[in-house]
């Protein structure tokens, strides 16, 4: 399943379908035929001196090289194709540089059209001392042709709170462009509520009736009533439903415990920044159909390929690191 990049050949479409290509992105892309890929979902390096980055290039070289990659990406995309470009910010000599804005200008210059600027919110992450915490990333959804693109809204609708409003569709609404993806099981959420109710009971049983305590009780009661009303007005039963309604909350994979990190089985090398699968699932569902080809041009641990495979899409990944390619191969094969 891993294809080593061969410098002398051009690829034909079926050579790279359902393959992980171990090679340098620009050189591989240049050998791919035009108009062959439906969706590219990717996250480049953020120029943060991570282990997999090219340490010898300066920031201007980094942008120049990525511009070439984006240009080739446009060529391999189908006429109605799209690219999802995930970046955060980088830090240069103590100054924050917003990579989303910087790359947007490059995409615009190369004739892409922005459909949405998605904010993906998570917990954890950097802990700087001289500025606020950065707790979100950007996913720029750009299309090759502004009049022709895939948007399977029915596959990604989310529950709406306002079922009584006749203007609102009962099968759900469009997700917002601000994605808080909640991965907790509903039963865990219920247990959390139970434990909070326990604390609430304790407060009631406290005999002293001081002013602050009364305000606190009033606040909590109002909150609980609001939440319960929201929940009870929804159609499905609590256990089948996300209690946060239209909000999904998903944390980054790097926040999970050391034990659960995605590692190479022999060398134990772990990928530092895998995509969360649910983020990718929503993107693949909305931007491609069954049997379409989904490509990640910096595929790392292979999350995009794994999810694309599960959703019956064809897939392809490119990464220059042999061990990451091997991790990806195992993840795609195992389907878990
Ligand atoms: C941010 S990570 C992507 C992680 C991936 N989204 C996942 O789910 O695991 C970037 C990846 O790009 C690869 N990479 C960086 N520059 C590259 C280049 N010029 N050619 C090929 N791969 C490259 C790195 O090895 C790294 O695995």
Whether residue 175 is contained in a domain is answered as: no
Torsion angle, alpha carbons of 304, 305, 311, 313, to 10: 120
Strands (E), 99-167: 113-121, 136-143
Whether residue 170 is contained in a domain is answered as: no
The DSSP-derived string for 213-230 is: HHHHHHHHHHHHHHHHHH
- Note whether 196 and 291 are same-domain residues: no
Are 168 and 162 spatial neighbours (Cβ–Cβ below 8 Å)? yes
pLDDT, tens digit (0-9, with 9 covering 90-100), for 245-295 = 333 445 556 545 555 577 887 888 888 788 999 899 999 999 999 999 999
Confidence of residue 207 (pLDDT cuts 50, 70, 90): low
Whether residue 92 is contained in a domain is answered as: yes
Range of the domain at 106: 2-159+247-334
Look at the chain and report how many structural domains it folds into: 2
CATH number for the domain that contains residue 135: 3.40.50.150
- Give the pLDDT confidence score for residue 64 in this predicted structure: 97
- Give the pLDDT confidence score for residue 238 in this predicted structure: 41
Confidence of residue 335 (pLDDT cuts 50, 70, 90): low
Q: Is the dihedral of CA 110, 111, 117, 122 positive or negative?
A: negative
Measure the CA–CA gap between 218 and 195, rounded to whole angstroms.
19
User: Among 198, 214, 240, where does a domain finish?
Assistant: 240
Ligand 1 atom with least separation from CA of 43: 1
Are 217 and 90 spatial neighbours (Cβ–Cβ below 8 Å)? no
pLDDT, tens digit (0-9, with 9 covering 90-100), for 61-95 = 999 999 999 999 999 999 999 999 999 999 888 89
Closest CA to 45 of 97, 92, 88: 88
pLDDT, tens digit (0-9, with 9 covering 90-100), for 39-49 = 999 999 999 87
Confidence of residue 209 (pLDDT cuts 50, 70, 90): low
- Give the pLDDT confidence score for residue 246 in this predicted structure: 33
- Note whether 48 and 154 are same-domain residues: yes
- Half-sphere exposure for 50 (CA within 13 Å, toward CB): 13
Cα angle for residues 115, 295, 60 (degrees, 5° grid) = 70
- Note whether 28 and 106 are same-domain residues: yes
Whether residue 152 is contained in a domain is answered as: yes
- Give the pLDDT confidence score for residue 241 in this predicted structure: 43
Closest CA to 110 of 52, 71, 60: 71
320 CA to centre of ligand 1 in angstroms: 7
User: Among 201, 217, 240, where does a domain finish?
Assistant: 240
86 lines ligand 1 (CB under 6 A): no
The rounded radius of gyration (Å) of the Cα atoms in the chain is 23
φ/ψ region of 108 (left if φ > 0, alpha if ψ in -120 to 50, else beta) reads alpha
Measure the CA–CA gap between 243 and 240, rounded to whole angstroms.
9
- Note whether 49 and 81 are same-domain residues: yes
- Note whether 252 and 221 are same-domain residues: no
Q: Indicate the pTM of the whole model.
A: 0.82
36 lines ligand 1 (CB under 6 A): no
Ligand 1 atom with least separation from CA of 23: 21
Measure the CA–CA gap between 272 and 286, rounded to whole angstroms.
27
**Closest Cα to atom 12, ligand 1: which residue?**
298
294 CA to centre of ligand 1 in angstroms: 16
Per cent of the chain over pLDDT 70 is 84
- Note whether 64 and 115 are same-domain residues: yes
Confidence of residue 52 (pLDDT cuts 50, 70, 90): confident
Whether residue 179 is contained in a domain is answered as: no
- Note whether 147 and 191 are same-domain residues: no
Cα angle for residues 222, 227, 229 (degrees, 5° grid) = 95
Measure the CA–CA gap between 275 and 299, rounded to whole angstroms.
10
Whether residue 169 is contained in a domain is answered as: no
Whether residue 325 is contained in a domain is answered as: yes
Measure the CA–CA gap between 257 and 260, rounded to whole angstroms.
5
Per cent of the chain over pLDDT 90 is 48
Are 231 and 177 spatial neighbours (Cβ–Cβ below 8 Å)? no
- Note whether 232 and 252 are same-domain residues: no
User: Among 211, 240, 269, where does a domain finish?
Assistant: 240
Q: Is the dihedral of CA 250, 254, 257, 262 positive or negative?
A: positive
45 lines ligand 1 (CB under 6 A): yes
Whether residue 174 is contained in a domain is answered as: no
- Note whether 251 and 318 are same-domain residues: yes
- With a cut of 60, say whether residue 242 has pLDDT above it: no
- Give the pLDDT confidence score for residue 299 in this predicted structure: 97
Ligand 1 atom with least separation from CA of 271: 9
- Note whether 73 and 218 are same-domain residues: no
Confidence of residue 330 (pLDDT cuts 50, 70, 90): very high
- Give the pLDDT confidence score for residue 247 in this predicted structure: 35
- Note whether 153 and 198 are same-domain residues: no
- Give the pLDDT confidence score for residue 111 in this predicted structure: 98
- Note whether 53 and 192 are same-domain residues: no
């Amino acid at each position: 399943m891993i294809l080593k990049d061969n410098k002398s050949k051009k690829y034909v479409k079926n050579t790279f379908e359902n393959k992980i290509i171990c090679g340098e992105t620009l050189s591989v892309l240049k050998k791919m035929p035009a108009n062959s890929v439906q969706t590219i979902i990717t996250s480049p390096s953020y120029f943060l001196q991570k282990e997999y980055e090219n340490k010898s290039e300066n920031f201007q070289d980094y942008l120049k090289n990525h511009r070439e990659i984006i240009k080739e990406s446009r060529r391999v995309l189908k006429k109605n194709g799209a690219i999802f470009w995930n970046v955060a910010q980088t830090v240069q000599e103590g100054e924050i540089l917003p990579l989303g804005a910087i790359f947007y200008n490059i995409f615009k210059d190369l004739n892409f059209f922005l459909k949405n600027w998605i904010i993906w919110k998570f917990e954890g992450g950097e802990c700087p001392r001289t500025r606020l915490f950065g707790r979100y990333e950007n996913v720029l959804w750009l299309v090759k042709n502004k009049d022709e693109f895939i948007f399977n809204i029915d596959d990604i609708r989310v529950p709406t709170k306002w079922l009584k409003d006749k203007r609102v569709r009962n099968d759900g609404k469009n997700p917002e462009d601000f994605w808080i993806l909640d991965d907790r099981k509903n039963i865990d959420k219920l247990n959390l509520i139970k434990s909070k109710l326990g604390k609430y009971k304790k407060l009631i049983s406290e005999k002293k009736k001081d002013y602050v305590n009364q305000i606190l009780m009033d606040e909590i009661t109002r909150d609980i009533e609001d939440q319960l009303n929201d929940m009870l007005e929804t159609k499905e039963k609590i256990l089948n439903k996300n209690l946060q309604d239209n909000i999904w909350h998903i944390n980054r994979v790097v926040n999970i415990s050391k034990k659960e990190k995605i590692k190479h089985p022999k060398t134990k090398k772990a990928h530092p920044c895998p995509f969360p699968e649910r983020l990718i699932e929503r993107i693949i569902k909305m931007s491609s159909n069954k049997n379409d080809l989904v490509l990640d041009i910096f595929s790392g641990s292979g999350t995009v390929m794994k999810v694309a495979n599960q959703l019956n899409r064809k897939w392809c990944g490119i990464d220059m690191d042999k061990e990451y390619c091997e991790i990806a191969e195992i993840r795609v094969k195992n389907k878990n």
